[in-house]
């Protein structure tokens, strides 16, 4: 139990630092170097980190509560509940800030889906606002969130290419931010180390195609699916 408590103490410290960073990011002003798109992307990343820390703390709390002395259980539950409430409050702040920014950008958030059966589909709107004087018209289509499954790469790229990649009204930095919004899992991990620059957008597209979109990989994925039937 001592080892679990020691680990939890470290995770709680990291959790507190993360909450502080999130609150600071929420308060950061928008300017030419830190655009609305930059802020949305940063908040999405921080939100994912927060969810991971909340889940990690929950597992450690459950582990400790299962073996702790009954006389100490009440204090344990009270302390754990404070961190839980802080996590919920912080996540609410992030989601509220993202929602406000997306109303300006007119971007569909990651966790907003059409229905329960299409939980990995995001539907871009017909209009996206890049700045006050530039309204972008995009076709109505669905862009699937791509998590690294080779058999889904072509479908993802075709829709992303039409809606984002070939849209001349978007800068490469904005396209890169949108790309990251639609990636998850190994696909997101592959480009997460790239900062938002024009050159890195080109490199990320090339990397995604090379790692997940090669014809031999796609054929192999389809063959594996057929063998599993």
pLDDT of residue 17: 96
Q: What angle do CA 17, 46, 189 make, to 5 degrees?
A: 120
176-203 confidence digits (pLDDT tens): 888 888 888 899 889 988 887 889 999 9
121-143 confidence digits (pLDDT tens): 444 444 344 444 444 444 445 67
Give the predicted TM-score (pTM) of the model: 0.48
Contact (Cβ atoms closer than 8 angstroms) between residue 12 and residue 83:
yes
Cα–Cα distance measured from residue 90 to residue 21, given in angstroms and rounded to the nearest whole number: 11
Contact (Cβ atoms closer than 8 angstroms) between residue 104 and residue 85:
no
Which one-letter DSSP state was computed for residue 162? Answer: I
């Amino acid at each position: 139990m001592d080892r679990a408590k020691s680990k939890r103490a470290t995770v709680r410290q990291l959790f507190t630092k993360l909450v502080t960073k999130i609150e600071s990011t929420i308060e950061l002003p928008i300017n030419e170097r830190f655009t609305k798109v930059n802020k949305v992307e940063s908040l999405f990343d921080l939100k994912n980190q927060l969810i991971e820390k909340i889940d990690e703390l929950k597992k450690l709390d459950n582990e400790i509560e299962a073996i702790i002395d009954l006389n100490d259980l009440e204090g344990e539950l009270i302390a754990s509940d404070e961190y839980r409430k802080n996590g919920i409050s912080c996540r609410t702040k992030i989601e509220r800030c993202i929602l406000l920014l997306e109303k300006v950008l007119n971007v569909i958030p990651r966790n907003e889906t059409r229905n329960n059966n299409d939980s990995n589909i995001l539907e871009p709107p017909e209009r996206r606002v890049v700045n006050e004087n530039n309204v972008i018209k995009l076709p109505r289509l669905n862009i699937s969130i791509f998590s690294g499954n080779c058999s889904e790469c072509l479908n993802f790229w075709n829709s992303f290419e039409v809606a984002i990649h070939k849209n001349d009204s978007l800068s490469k930095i904005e396209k890169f931010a949108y790309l990251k919004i639609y990636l998850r899992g190994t696909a997101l991990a592959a480009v997460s180390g790239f900062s938002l620059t024009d050159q890195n957008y080109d490199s990320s597209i090339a990397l995604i195609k090379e790692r997940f979109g090669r014809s031999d990989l796609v054929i192999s994925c389809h063959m594996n699916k057929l063998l599993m039937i």
